[in-house]
Structure 1
């Protein structure tokens, strides 16, 4: 098992072996607690896209909308009227963007594979969503830092991802078995990140987080 590698969230040099299965090894950062898959186990872009193409997430699917409402509902309660938002990693069926548009907000889309309009990554927004995205990132620290810079003062970053709870639970966790999932956050990972960026952190349920940027 690979023993150490710089953390892709906080760049800390000290990591330890966390788990191993028949497919991959997993390391854990000793500063921010991120668990991640070493780069040698990552899929190629072609193989990653092929996995995503298997997903059947339709904009009008009621069950998919119920799933996304775990983030959408607390986010909408947080936002003033008619905000400018970005759905980062929207996928082929941007249901969350549709839901937020229906709530009166103006939405832009970005997805590396399905909506690769990089001009939106140079704009500022009142809020940004990343639902079931951060677990796919090979460099989550770099991506989250970039999204945070795009938020206007008083803005909100909304994230959905399943959280690591313990080493014992991780070993039998279905979420780690998806070959496109390579970065696994815990509550303490988000608490570390919020502290570094001066964000107010809210947990909503088991897998939704709001990170609020201070008014300046």
Structure 2
């Protein structure tokens, strides 16, 4: 089984509740067996359970974990994209309120791919990368479409305790199929030319050199 991020042969990591996971020895990504990934209709049914409204103060506080450190690093007038914005583009709304233009894209809820043709001063990706079936594809897009000096802002809960993996609430979501460690982001930074800031679990900021 080859890693879905770096294509290195991976080894079995764990089997829990009928789900088989692999660990890459190169980039340290942990990922579910590609033959067991959820179908698009299953994913949408799970996503529809979320109530992530732009006017929800609690959800805004959650997103501010990324928005606050990111906007502190952006130049005035920076233009970006919220990649995987979901049904209610709350983060894009928050960034626009602070004077930053922010387009949106989501393969289910905002599938117009026109925004993917542009290059951006920043791209945000909140609670998205744990869902990726082919993460190499999306990371190649990030590397090509974030401008030099631009920022990639990520939120995903880091995998930090292998012993608790089977009980981990993040693993139990049937649409969460790959799990990221600081070492994985460090590998991406080396391979793709990013400067890495591990702000704190679950926030990662990466600047394109």
Residue 39 in structure 1 maps to residue 34 in structure 2: yes
Residue 15 in structure 1 maps to residue 18 in structure 2: no
Residue 88 in structure 1 maps to residue 88 in structure 2: no
Structure 2: 5+ residue runs without aligned partners?
none
* Map 1:43-82 → 2, pairs under 5 A: 43-82=38-77
Corresponding residue number in structure 2 for 1:28 = 23
Post-superposition Cα deviations, 1:13-60, rounded to whole Å, max 9, x if no partner, equal: x21111111130110001000000011211111111111111111001
The partner residue of 1:6 within 2, 11, 30 is: 2
Once residues 82 and 18 of structure 2 are traced to their aligned partners in structure 1, the CA distance between those partners, rounded to angstroms, is 31
Once residues 192 and 31 of structure 1 are traced to their aligned partners in structure 2, the CA distance between those partners, rounded to angstroms, is 8
Structure 1: 5+ residue runs without aligned partners?
none
* Map 1:1-216 → 2, pairs under 5 A: 5-12=1-8, 14-214=9-209
Cα shift at 1:145: 1.2
Once residues 6 and 55 of structure 2 are traced to their aligned partners in structure 1, the CA distance between those partners, rounded to angstroms, is 38
Cα shift at 1:151: 1.0
Cα shift at 1:62: 0.6
- Cα RMSD over matched residues? 0.8
Post-superposition Cα deviations, 1:122-148, rounded to whole Å, max 9, x if no partner, equal: 111100000000000011111011122
- Length-normalised TM-score, structure 1: 0.95
Which consecutive aligned stretches of 4+ in structure 1 deviate over 6 angstroms post-superposition?
A: none
Once residues 121 and 146 of structure 2 are traced to their aligned partners in structure 1, the CA distance between those partners, rounded to angstroms, is 6
Q: Secondary structure at the match of 1:78?
A: coil
Q: Secondary structure at the match of 1:33?
A: coil
Cα shift at 1:166: 2.6
